[in-house]
């Protein structure tokens, strides 16, 4: 069993992006600029956004954080997005989710200029991904592809089972892995809460992607001997043994499943870490006008 080391990959990729950013600037390019909007003071969101701002600094990408109080109206938020769409210095624009219930996430996502949608949540970028033309891939699917690529894990003709049909993980990764090319060309089965005989299906998977957000749901008897297991689940649970009082639990019961795998991602230290890297990469692509000229 080999560990798919998100920490090592993240460090490698950040270094690569930093070099690319430096080379782009040295050749007369602008400093890539990521702008994030944060509404309210949710603890999780604060942590995520702080991580993104820090990662930008590490690779030479400029970042701006715009804060709104919880009470901001949808209209005010949309006006700010429109202004930031028009700001030529901003290459990437993201709005940290979730938003307060009085604001429709869909309106906010569709308001972002597709050329700055480095989260890849805009339907236009999703649609382009589906039909196989260049687009911003969202962070988690991009991170999964990157892990497979960097560990040279073959995917063509492999049976890939994705458990969980969320818009931001399960659906896009199932589409990406069934596309032509590498990583792709897999025979993908998308499972979810209505799937019957789930265990019979997951046991046939050469590559199993767990993305349903149910802590330790995937047990040893659900996994084929020698499978590649990618654990996307991150559930924060109370813990008496950690300093913070919390620990992160994946969708896979790691200790039990790992001995049966050829490769497996740990949680924490796996896919989650790579998501910020995807954002940095998209912001650089935007500054370079690679996807949308």
CA distance 267 to 159: 23
CA distance 254 to 74: 42
Nearer to a second copy, 128 or 281 (CB): 128
CB of 245 to a second copy, least distance (A): 35
167 vs 239, beta carbon nearer a second copy:
167
Strand, coil or helix: 51: helix
* Smallest distance, a second copy to C-beta of residue 119, A: 13
Instruction: Outline where the chain has alpha helix (H).
Output: 6-26, 43-59, 74-86, 105-111, 123-131, 139-150, 170-178, 198-202, 254-257, 271-287
SS3 at position 114? helix
Using the rule CB under 8 A, give the single segment among 42-50, 91-99, 138-146, 157-165 that binds a second copy: 157-165
Pairing of β 261-264 and β 246-249: unpaired
Q: Segment near a second copy (CB under 8 A), from 124-132, 231-239, 261-269, 273-281?
A: 124-132
Phi (first) and psi of residue 47, to 5 degrees: -65, -45
Cβ(170)–Cβ(141) below 8 Å: no
Q: Binding of a second copy at residue 133 (CB under 8 A)?
A: yes
Binding string, residues 82-101; x marks residues near a second copy by CB under 8 A? --------------------
Q: What's the gap between Cα 181 and its chain centre?
A: 21
Q: Does 260 bind a second copy (CB under 8 A)?
A: no
Could you say whether residue 128 binds a second copy (CB under 8 A)?
A: yes
CB 51 within 8 A of CB 280: no
β-strand partners of 121: none
Active site residue 52: yes
Query: Taking the complex as a whole, how short is the minimal distance between the CB of residue 186 and a second copy, in angstroms?
Result: 8
Helices 271-287, 6-26: inter-axial angle, 10-degree rounding: 10
Q: Which is nearer to a second copy, 42 or 185 (CB)?
A: 185
Is 2 a residue of the active site?
no
Residue 293 makes contact with a second copy by CB under 8 A: no
Q: Is residue 123 close enough to count as binding a second copy by CB under 8 A?
A: yes
Binding segment toward a second copy, per CB under 8 A, in 41-49, 95-103, 152-160, 283-291: 152-160
Which whole-number Å values give the CA distances from 209 to 128, 240, 254, in the listed order?
A: 23, 29, 13
Q: Least distance in Å: CB of 117 to a second copy? A: 11
Q: How many residues bind a second copy (CB under 8 A)?
A: 38
191 is a contact residue toward a second copy (CB under 8 A): yes
Q: Footprint of a second copy on this chain (CB under 8 A)?
A: 106, 122-128, 130-133, 135, 156-159, 165, 167, 171-172, 174-175, 178-180, 185-192, 194-196, 201
Give catalytic residue positions. 52, 96, 119
């Amino acid at each position: 069993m080999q560990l798919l080391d998100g920490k090592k990959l993240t460090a490698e990729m950040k270094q690569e992006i930093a070099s690319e950013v430096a080379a782009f600037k040295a050749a007369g390019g602008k400093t890539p600029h990521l702008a994030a909007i944060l509404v309210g003071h949710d603890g999780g969101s604060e942590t995520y956004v702080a991580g993104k701002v820090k990662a930008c600094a590490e690779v030479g990408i400029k970042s701006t954080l715009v804060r709104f109080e919880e009470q901001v109206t949808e209209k005010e938020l949309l006006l700010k997005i429109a202004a930031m769409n028009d700001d030529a210095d901003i290459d990437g624009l993201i709005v940290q989710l979730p938003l307060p219930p009085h604001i429709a996430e869909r309106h906010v996502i569709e308001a972002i200029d597709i050329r700055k949608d480095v989260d890849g949540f805009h339907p236009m970028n999703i649609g382009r991904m589906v039909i196989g033309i260049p687009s911003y891939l969202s962070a988690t699917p991009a991170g999964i592809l990157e892990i497979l690529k960097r560990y040279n894990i073959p995917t063509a003709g492999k049976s890939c089972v994705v458990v969980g049909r969320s818009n931001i993980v399960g659906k896009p990764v199932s589409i990406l892995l069934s596309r032509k090319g590498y990583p792709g060309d897999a025979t993908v089965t998308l499972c979810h809460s209505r799937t019957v005989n789930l265990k019979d299906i997951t046991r046939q998977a050469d590559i199993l992607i767990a993305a349903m957000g149910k802590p330790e749901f995937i047990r040893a008897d659900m996994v084929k001997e020698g499978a590649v297991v990618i654990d996307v689940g991150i559930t924060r649970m109370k813990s008496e043994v950690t300093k913070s009082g919390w620990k992160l639990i994946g969708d896979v019961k790691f200790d039990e499943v790992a001995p049966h795998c050829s490769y497996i991602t740990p949680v924490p230290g796996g896919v989650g870490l790579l998501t910020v890297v995807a954002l940095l990469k998209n912001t650089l692509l935007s500054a370079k006008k690679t996807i949308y000229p």
